[in-house]
A and B are shown apart, each in its own frame.
Chain A
Amino acid sequence: MSATVEERPTPALTEPRKVAPAKDSRKLIRSQVRAGWLFLAPALLHSGIFIVIPVVAAIVLSFTDYSFGDSWSWIGFANYSELFQDVDFRAALANTLLYAVVVVPLSMAISLAVAIGLNQKIKAIGFFRTAFYLPTVTATVAIATIWLWIYNPGSGLANGFLSLFGFAPGRWLSDPSTALPSLMVVGIWQGLGTKIIIYLAALQGVSRDLMESASLDGANRWQRFVNVTWPALGPVQFFVLVTSIVGTFQVFDLVYVMTRGGPGTETHVLVLDIYQNAFQALRLGFASAETVIMMLVIAIFIGLGRLLQKADVND
């Protein structure tokens, strides 16, 4: 018995088995790594050309006085120190922060409410889903043009509607006190579609078993929403938050078409200020410094969002 047992691990039989799989697996791993890089290559090349190079270029340019002319020089942090004394930049930063702080939570809340509504078994659900998504696929310039008419002080829909209730006509976009809120309304409305679709997909992924269990335990609708739906939406909330913050910080076309940043600096936002400094004042170095600051502010906001959402870093 014992001899038989001792004979089991015969080198002649086991050694080739040990060596062969190791070689094969290394080969397999190498080919998998190659395939991985091959599949990644287009995305890496794209990111390298259109993201990494421009970002590095912006950082480098921010330390120069380049203004499209023949000569330029390194000026250290001069653009940055000038930036924080620039009243237009400060106004643009404040307006952008205010725009983000108002538009992001409001649009998320409205989108979630609408998504919950669209997740019910109601008639013409397809029509409603399409209608809510329509602004997202419409060009911002077209949307802005329609809203320009809505806000027109003389013949606009907004004043026409208010006049039915005896309100005095408003000068929505030319009154300093209403210009930015008017843009916020358009921004919220335009951004609903994408968020609704994402929330809708997440809502349909909420575990029915958990919902049924909660119902059986006697939980009402609100309790089911708070204790089952809301926690299940966590990762999606974080995704929507991040994309919304980035989107609101990048607001430009809406402002460009509707107010050009006016009246005064009431609707002056960061990207518009960057655009004007770069392509109208021809101060590309200065505008690059502004871009770097904007990237940092966005990063800080996303960091804060992560903290608030207590999101899993490894999502």
Chain B
Amino acid sequence: MRRGAGLVVLVAAIGLVASACGNGVIDKSTDGVPPAEATGTLRVLLPSFPASTKGREAFEKVVEDFHKTYPKMKVEPDFATYNNLNEKMSTSIAAGIPYDVMVTGVGWVQPFASKRIFTDLAAYGVTPDVIREKSIAAMIQPATYDGKLYAYPLVADARAVALRVSAFKEAGLDPDNPPTSLEELKVAAEKLTKRDANGTITRSGMDLASPTGFRQSFTTFLASTGTPLYVDGEPNFDNEKGLETLNWIKSMINNVQPYGQQNAAQQPLVLTGEAAMGIVGGAVDCTDKGIGQANCDDLKFFRFDSGKEIEYVGGDLASIGSRSRHKDAAWAFIQSLTQPTTLDEIAKLNKKLPAYKDAANSPQAKSNPLSKFVAEGLPHAINENSPPSNWLEMRGNFDIQLTQAVLGQKDPAKVLANLAGQSR
């Protein structure tokens, strides 16, 4: 009898602890409740607002706008980075307190949609056809899964190639006629590479923007040959073009750029003069706070073209968690987040482009020569195209295995075959 009572007390205590751990922070659903009366906490995960005063101020403006519709709801932000985005999402799901609004990148949406972690936005009147009228074309496909729209594009992260005019002239190359194909790029990069007496590279001929992983570089260079990484979810790199591209990257590393090269600020090396040519992001600050006007004047931008002119475009997209108890409020928050002025602000803060239809005429595109260039190049946008549902797993596999091929630890053909086999 006593034992039974003790057991009951123990089970009750464990139950109390478990319930305190598990359900304490979950609100009642506000869906269907008039916005003015809805209460609770809207949890939002965003890598779009940097951890700076300006970033926080920009976010507060979004919250203010949201509170015009949902005055009683509290907004709890989690300013993640792309490095820990998956960890944040998976642990929140495992803990039973998933985020209501999740901002992710290109390549994230389809896998999460396939796992039913994101909600189909059709319930809020947003379909691929609707978004096509509002957003840049490059962001439609990454936001779509199985013909439905699971994310609303916020900003586009477009990449171009920059060259140093002075370095080109010094090497006897014509900066007005930049190399664009893989073959031309290698010849030019070798001429532009500077070494010391020991043969150590002191200035890279070309920055492939891949200090430790070659997934995006491989995708970019492969696409420039007219070969998308995936087609309809099926691998499209285990072929002659894929092998040619991987061998080309292998021939460049430790030849025109040391493996693992990056500066402390993790800025594109061509902007700091550590490389004569290289991949750059979507904006450059030509003021004295940035790289300065003299440096800017020494830069020219171009796009890769080994048969197809391309520009790699990633970006930020906002989704609603399928387990959210505040889906209506989450949609209202996304509406506040996608106000054109907010998108302009996010683009400026992150050196990206707003993803609205007329991005080429956005304040960001007009603010600096690089943003103007990448905005004009959006019609040439490429990315992984249609990655498989296990893309989140494949991202890491690509980074590891391509590096092994580039460093000569594994046969490039076998690596590509293996990656193709792992894509499912």
Provide the bound-state CA to CA distance between A45 and B90, in Å: 27
A280 engages B117 (CB within 8 Å): no
Chain B contacts for A176, CB-based, 8 A:
407, 409
Chain A proximity mask over B97-125: 1 for CB below 8 Å, otherwise 0: 00000000000000100111100000000
Chain A contacts for B91, CB-based, 8 A:
279
B5 adjacent to chain A (CB < 8 Å): no
Q: What residues of chain A have their CB less than 8 Å away from a CB belonging to chain B?
A: 45, 48-49, 67-71, 87-88, 153, 168-169, 171, 173-174, 176, 260-265, 268, 276-284
Chain B contacts for A168, CB-based, 8 A:
198, 200
A265 engages B390 (CB within 8 Å): no
- B183-213 interface with A by 8 A CB criterion: 198, 200, 212-213
B116 engages A69 (CB within 8 Å): yes
A278 engages B90 (CB within 8 Å): yes
Of the candidates A48, A71, A279, A284, the one having the most CB atoms from chain B within 10 angstroms of its own CB is A279
B86 adjacent to chain A (CB < 8 Å): yes
B403 engages A263 (CB within 8 Å): yes
Chain A proximity mask over B41-55: 1 for CB below 8 Å, otherwise 0: 000000000000000
Chain A's closest residue to B6 (CB) is: A37
Given contacts A174-B258, A260-B212, A282-B393, 20 further A-B contacts (CB under 8 A): A67-B115, A68-B89, A69-B114, A88-B397, A168-B200, A173-B260, A176-B407, A262-B403, A263-B403, A264-B400, A264-B410, A265-B400, A276-B396, A279-B87, A280-B86, A280-B393, A280-B395, A281-B390, A282-B111, A282-B115
Cβ contact of A174, chosen from B114, B259, B393, cutoff 8 A: B259
Chain A proximity mask over B383-419: 1 for CB below 8 Å, otherwise 0: 0000000101101110011011001011000000010
Main secondary structure of the interface of A (DSSP, over half): loop
Nearest-neighbour CB distance to chain A for B297, whole angstroms, equals 27
B90 engages A279 (CB within 8 Å): yes
Provide the bound-state CA to CA distance between A173 and B14, in Å: 47
Chain B contacts for A173, CB-based, 8 A:
260
Query: Given known contacts A68-B90, A169-B200, is B400 in contact with A283 (CB within 8 Å)?
Result: no
Nearest-neighbour CB distance to chain B for A83, whole angstroms, equals 14
B265 adjacent to chain A (CB < 8 Å): no
B93 adjacent to chain A (CB < 8 Å): yes
Provide the bound-state CA to CA distance between A153 and B202, in Å: 12
B259 engages A263 (CB within 8 Å): yes
Nearest-neighbour CB distance to chain B for A162, whole angstroms, equals 13
B94 adjacent to chain A (CB < 8 Å): yes
Chain B contacts for A280, CB-based, 8 A:
86-87, 392-393, 395-396
Chain A contacts for B89, CB-based, 8 A:
68
Chain B's closest residue to A264 (CB) is: B404
Give the interface size bracket for B toward A. Answer: 35 or more
Mind listing 10 A-B residue pairs with CB under 8 Å?
A49-B17, A68-B90, A68-B115, A70-B116, A88-B397, A262-B403, A263-B212, A263-B260, A264-B404, A264-B410
Nearest-neighbour CB distance to chain B for A256, whole angstroms, equals 10
Chain B's closest residue to A273 (CB) is: B396
Number of A-B contacts (CB under 8 A): 86
Query: Given known contacts A45-B13, A69-B115, A279-B86, is B94 in contact with A262 (CB within 8 Å)?
Result: no
Provide the bound-state CA to CA distance between A87 and B89, in Å: 27
Chain B contacts for A278, CB-based, 8 A:
90
Main secondary structure of the interface of B (DSSP, over half): helix
Of the candidates A48, A68, A169, the one having the most CB atoms from chain B within 10 angstroms of its own CB is A68
B392 engages A281 (CB within 8 Å): yes
A69 engages B117 (CB within 8 Å): yes
Provide the bound-state CA to CA distance between A95 and B111, in Å: 30
Chain A's closest residue to B260 (CB) is: A174
Query: Given known contacts A69-B116, A282-B115, is B212 in contact with A262 (CB within 8 Å)?
Result: yes
Chain B contacts for A264, CB-based, 8 A:
400-401, 403-404, 407, 409-410
B13 engages A265 (CB within 8 Å): no
Q: Which 7 A-B pairs have the closest CB atoms?
A: A174-B260, A69-B115, A281-B393, A264-B404, A279-B87, A70-B116, A68-B93
Chain B's closest residue to A266 (CB) is: B409
Chain A contacts for B390, CB-based, 8 A:
281
Chain A contacts for B14, CB-based, 8 A:
45, 48-49
Nearest-neighbour CB distance to chain A for B228, whole angstroms, equals 23
Provide the bound-state CA to CA distance between A262 and B114, in Å: 30
Cβ contact of B259, chosen from A68, A171, A260, A281, cutoff 8 A: A171
Provide the bound-state CA to CA distance between A62 and B32, in Å: 39
Chain A contacts for B410, CB-based, 8 A:
264
Nearest-neighbour CB distance to chain B for A12, whole angstroms, equals 36
B400 engages A88 (CB within 8 Å): yes
Provide the bound-state CA to CA distance between A48 and B259, in Å: 47
Chain A's closest residue to B2 (CB) is: A34
A261 engages B117 (CB within 8 Å): no
Cβ contact of A263, chosen from B86, B407, B418, cutoff 8 A: B407
Nearest-neighbour CB distance to chain A for B30, whole angstroms, equals 22
Chain A proximity mask over B319-344: 1 for CB below 8 Å, otherwise 0: 00010000000000000000000000
Chain B's closest residue to A168 (CB) is: B198
- B8-61 interface with A by 8 A CB criterion: 13-14, 17
Chain A contacts for B400, CB-based, 8 A:
88, 261-262, 264-265, 268
Provide the bound-state CA to CA distance between A71 and B115, in Å: 8
Chain A's closest residue to B410 (CB) is: A264
B90 engages A282 (CB within 8 Å): yes
Nearest-neighbour CB distance to chain A for B10, whole angstroms, equals 8
Nearest-neighbour CB distance to chain B for A155, whole angstroms, equals 9
Chain B contacts for A71, CB-based, 8 A:
116
Chain A contacts for B393, CB-based, 8 A:
277, 280-283
Chain A's closest residue to B403 (CB) is: A264
Chain B contacts for A281, CB-based, 8 A:
390, 392-393, 396
Nearest-neighbour CB distance to chain A for B12, whole angstroms, equals 12
Chain A contacts for B418, CB-based, 8 A:
87
